[in-house]
Amino acid sequence: MKNKTMKHRFLLFCLTAIILGGCKTKTTEAIDDQDEEIQAKVADLVSKMTLEEKIAEMTQDAPANERLGIPYMKYAEALHGMWLVLDYYGNTTVYPQAIAAGSTWEPELIKKMASQTALEARALGVTHCYSPNLDVISGDPRYGRVEESYGEDPYLVSRMGVAFIEGLQGTGDEQYDENHVMATAKHFIGYPENRRGINGGFSDMSERRLREVYLPPFEAAIKEAKVGSVMPGHQDYNGVPNHMNTWLLKDILRDELGFDGFIVSDNNDVARLETMHFISESRTESAILGLKAGVDMDLVIGKSVDLSSYHSSVLLDTLTKNPELVKYIDKATSRILTAKYKLGLFDTEPKEIDPKTVDVGKKEHQDFAYEIAQKAIILLKNENKLLPLDKSKISSLAVIGPNATEERPEKGTYSLLGGYSGLPPYYVSALEGIQNKVGDDIKINYAKGCDLLSNSKEGFSEAIAAAKKSDAVVLVVGGSRKTGGEGVDRSNLDLYGVQNELVEAIHKTGKPVIVVLINGRPLTINYIAENIPSILETWYLGMHSGDAIADALFGDVNPGGKLTVSFPRSVGQLPVTYLERPDFIGSGKGLYKDSDKSPLFPFGYGLSYTTFSFSAPRLAQSDIAVDGKTTVSIDVTNSGQVTGDEVVQLYVRDDFASVGRYMKLLKGFERITLEPGETKMVSFDLGFDELSILNTDLKKVVEPGTFTISVGSSSRAEDLKTTTLLVKG
């Protein structure tokens, strides 16, 4: 029955694609024949394998088996370019980090980035990648892995995640061909819902929150993008560790969502059932718990712990004495072998590749990384139109700050690229980008000011002197891989070290100051927001960071990115997210005694060097049946003097429903480019997917009543135009 259901889903997908414009598709019969042929080959192989050989397949390397001609399946990370775990190889393209790429609000960019990454993976002999990260950030940016996510909204993360997977794996006839690899959707599920913002902290939450916030990206990854692999999170869910959670991994992931690929553990997490969660009393018991829950492959990076969570030295004796458990081994081995067949590994001769010398980066890829970086930059503030800088009016410019430049490291990679970064052939810093932009036309006065991690103010005097002898100041501050990323969580969100004091000192010189943030998480930058006239949020922009920053500073690029995460005013305000239910805070009636309750900068926010005006939204039909559909349209006009991009955002709210729900939910978006005076109409569909809620039985339904339909430039009420849709029972 399950296979039949999956066939019907694929047929529907193919027919839809043909109707919408025709993509290359295999016939249903051909797909069925291929699947049946693969399953027959897998069954035959498994029947010939010894127990030791089956267990060996279940380690992260999925090693080759010379006796039976089974090929090796090499893994790596591919979050924003290729990174071979625990090693670095040169000349890979490093694209903007996920939080930056998400800020473009352009899924097609993500898809193309992933397709280029797949080419570099194949060139390195990699066929299985542990990306993308589909975690929805729950409003606590103390958590170090915020930078790996596409944001705080489940719909946005879904769209970006599907685009990434389709780019990496390919679609139609191209899926898993010689130019594509297998993706891994992680971390299933609720990983950012951690206590105190701590990586791996336990997750206590309702099933409603799990389904409303965290499940949608994985559902889309499985049903739309056909992701080949899934990785659970480190944590437990309501007391049951994810790596032994049968309800999550079998009932939800496989039976409900229809996932038929293989599950790979996160690093050492099967063993952690004993060493972190204290559930099992031995590694053997841990392995059995993971195996029964459906974990097919055990990842232990770098052999920091003996590769024996699933290895024969642990399992062989137990499985020999308990033959009823062998069926779990057969299932796991079969899923891994199926992946190898789908990837075409049985049909190709393995290549001997030295990752330290192979040159995989292409100029085309590097140029595209530059394009994404340009589109990711967010203008948070621009008082008195300080930006863009006019070269003809500036003879000298101070570039100050610990993040203004970074030398090529002797080991590893640049910290200003963010986590899970490979080593590119070059990295353009903000200082270098500005110098390249202005040449000899403007004198650049550089001073570091302070170290990122130090409390020393020894460099302040040099920085102040540089500012005083310059016409304007570009102050580059923020964070790095040293202050964020996996395993680097924080107790506060202030600028690290004495950076904020450096900002104050430079501001007091009276010179016009532009703050450029290079960082991986939202920060509490109240002083900067109140006192500095212009602020650019750039995140980690990849190998062309400085070029893109310089383009934005001097107006060669008009910033058009939008925030995918909310900025808090203080850690006492956490969690901060636009996903608010109608409590005293969410309804607008609750107040903090000592602080504004709103975020410092909200989800979806971002300014431009031009201005845009929005018409009132128009419904094709103002009332529909509960099973009906309509569209909402809005006219957007560039009312300024320069060409610019706007991200048009659709939010929906069921005004009165049988259950509590979020005050608004993102249900559509489109980034458009407008010339001065140009107007474009943007339309969004409104149907079951946009109007449904989870009822008291946690089933998706559309309930009769009125719906507030909001369209605008951010999630803030003042940035939205609204209309009302009536749904009749």
The residues carrying an active-site annotation are: 266
Could you tell me which residues come within 8 angstroms of residue 187 by beta carbon, excluding any fewer than 6 positions away? Answer: 133, 134, 135, 231, 232, 233, 234, 242, 266
CA–CA separation, 552 vs 570, rounded Å?
29
Helix (H) or strand (E) holding 112, with range, is helix 107-123
3-state secondary structure of 25: coil
Beta bridge partners of residue 712, listed in sequence order:
649, 720
Helix (H) or strand (E) holding 188, with range, is strand 184-188
3-state secondary structure of 130: coil
CA–CA separation, 111 vs 118, rounded Å?
11
3-state secondary structure of 666: strand
Antiparallel, parallel or unpaired: β 236-237 and 229-232 = unpaired
The whole-angstrom distance between residue 204's C-alpha and the CA centroid of its chain comes to: 23
Closest to 404 (Cα-Cα) out of 296, 515, 319: 515
- The DSSP result for 495-547, as a single string, is PSTTHHHHHHHHHTTT--EEEEEE-SS----HHHHHH-SEEEE-----TTHHH
Could you tell me which residues come within 8 angstroms of residue 524 by beta carbon, excluding any fewer than 6 positions away? Answer: 492, 493, 494, 567, 568, 569, 570, 571, 600
Tokens (6 digits) for 718: 């003042």
Tokens (6 digits) for 465: 């002197």
CA–CA separation, 123 vs 178, rounded Å?
10
Helix (H) or strand (E) holding 207, with range, is helix 207-209
